[in-house]
Every structure is written in C-alpha cells, then in structure tokens.
A = this chain, B = another copy of it.
Amino acid sequence: MSARRMLVVGAHSADFVWRAAGAIAKHTAAGGEAVVLALSYGERGESGELWKDPNQTVENVKRLRHAEAERAAAAVGARLETFDRGDYPLRIRDEDIDRLAALMREYAPHVVLTHPDRDPFNPDHPVAHSAVATARQLTAGAGVSSGFRTAPPSEFLVFEPHQPELCGFVPTVFVDITDVMPAKQEAMASMGAQGYLREYYTQRADQRGNHARRVTGDATIRQAEAFQRLIPTVVGAL
C-alpha cells in the first residue's frame, strides 16, 4: 500500500513551521509522505533581521531562507518545494494556479493544509489560500468523469493563524503533537530569521494541548496544534 501523502502550502517559507510542523512530524512518523510548498521566501516581509546587514541582497536572503526551510522540513521528515513568487505582495497569476494544480495532479495528496481565507494582519495569506482552494478544485474535477486528468478529492484543512479569532478561525481538530514536540522545536530552531517566534509558538502548543486535554479528558496530551476542516469527513463509524 502506498504511503498517505500530505501537502502543506504556505505563502512564505517559514509558515509551515509555526503552524503545522507538529502535524507534519506526526504524519511522517506514521509512515506518511509530506511535501511543503512555499509560494514565496518571505524575503521582504519576514526577513528584516537579514536586511540589517547593509550588504544584503535579495538573492542572498532567498538563498538563506531556502536553506532554513529545507532544514526545518527535514527536521519533520518533509520535502521542500518552492515557487519563488515574491512576497509583500504575493501576487498569483493564472499560470501559477495551473502550476499548482499540475503539482496536485502529480502528487495526488490525501490531505492539503494551508492558511485560512481571511487575515487582517497579512496580505499574502489569503492570496495563498485562494490559490490552493482553486487549484484543489481544478484537480479534483466536478465529481463526474472529466475531460482531463484528475486526482481524488483531498481532505482540506487550514492551520492556525497568528490571531485566530480575527481570521474567523474555529478549530475543529487538534493534533496531539506531544511526542514530536522535539522535532517541532528543531524545525523552529532552524528558522534563524524569525527566532523570536519560537517562544510564542511553544506556548501556543502548550495551550492547544490544554484545550485538547479538556476536550478528551486525556491527561497525557501536553502539546497540540489546531486545525479547521473545510470539507466534511466520511467515516465508517462515529
């Protein structure tokens, strides 16, 4: 049987680390494959530390961000892909949608993760969401036989944004990441350019762990990540 495939799409190369590194690590630890796609390197909006070097160049920032993201992806068992479409603003053209749909047809992910469709604090996250949602629909077809190659419909979830309530984010599933928290810590440690976010998301994992304990009564859960499913699941029993 082939491995279960996960695709995680971020507007910037560091997005997957803070919001989904734990879920990726759980997925790959369970024998799954994971691809992380970064639509941009966040080279303008999220790399200010690097730009403090007066001799810095955009190509060098991208190179450093690529290396960081590769280390982080490796820490959770994922492979990195990049589109290098630029940030602040990330602008997605029709051909970028087509390229993303082609990737989805080829990779045929079972589950797709990306940003929510609304974020008053970031211009690029909703753009990434829209691209992923459209490409995913183009890939799956209309539920009837199509005149083009399709991939089976994937599960579709969004990961937690920085200010969840203001993005309309409501968690519907917590992933217990207790036993992969070291891998998430390692992935976060790889992101030199945004190191100060590490404490923030460590605390967040603790809090979501508290929520997951509250929901289940399971005291062994220490850390969790929160996700919102956009499409119903189908199960054999409740």
Contact = CB atoms under 8 A, between A and B. Distances in A.
A105 to B, nearest CB: 12
A94 to B, nearest CB: 6
A234 B172 CA distance: 9
A224 interface: yes
Of residues A6, A43, A232, which shows the largest number of chain B Cβ atoms within 10 Å of its Cβ? A232
Interface stretch (A45-53, A73-81, A181-189): A45-53
A27 B206 contact: no
Nearest to A196: B144
B48 A146 contact: yes
Copies of this protein, total = 6
A3 interface: no
Contact of A200 (B6, B138, B210): B210
A237 B94 CA distance: 33
Contact of A26 (B133, B196, B197, B236): B236
A118 B52 CA distance: 41
B238 A227 contact: yes
A216 interface: yes
Contact of A238 (B134, B175, B207, B212): B175
Given A123-B134, A144-B194, 16 more contacts: A6-B238, A43-B147, A44-B147, A88-B138, A89-B138, A120-B230, A121-B142, A123-B138, A143-B213, A157-B238, A166-B232, A174-B234, A175-B236, A212-B234, A215-B233, A215-B234
18 contacts: A30-B237, A45-B148, A46-B144, A51-B146, A89-B134, A111-B238, A120-B231, A121-B142, A122-B142, A143-B214, A157-B238, A162-B214, A165-B171, A166-B232, A172-B232, A176-B234, A207-B207, A215-B233
Interface of A: 6, 23, 26-27, 29-30, 32, 42-52, 58, 61, 88-89, 91, 94, 97, 111, 113, 120-123, 133-134, 137-138, 140-148, 152-153, 155-157, 162-166, 169-176, 194, 196-197, 200, 203-204, 206-207, 210-218, 221, 224, 226-227, 229-238
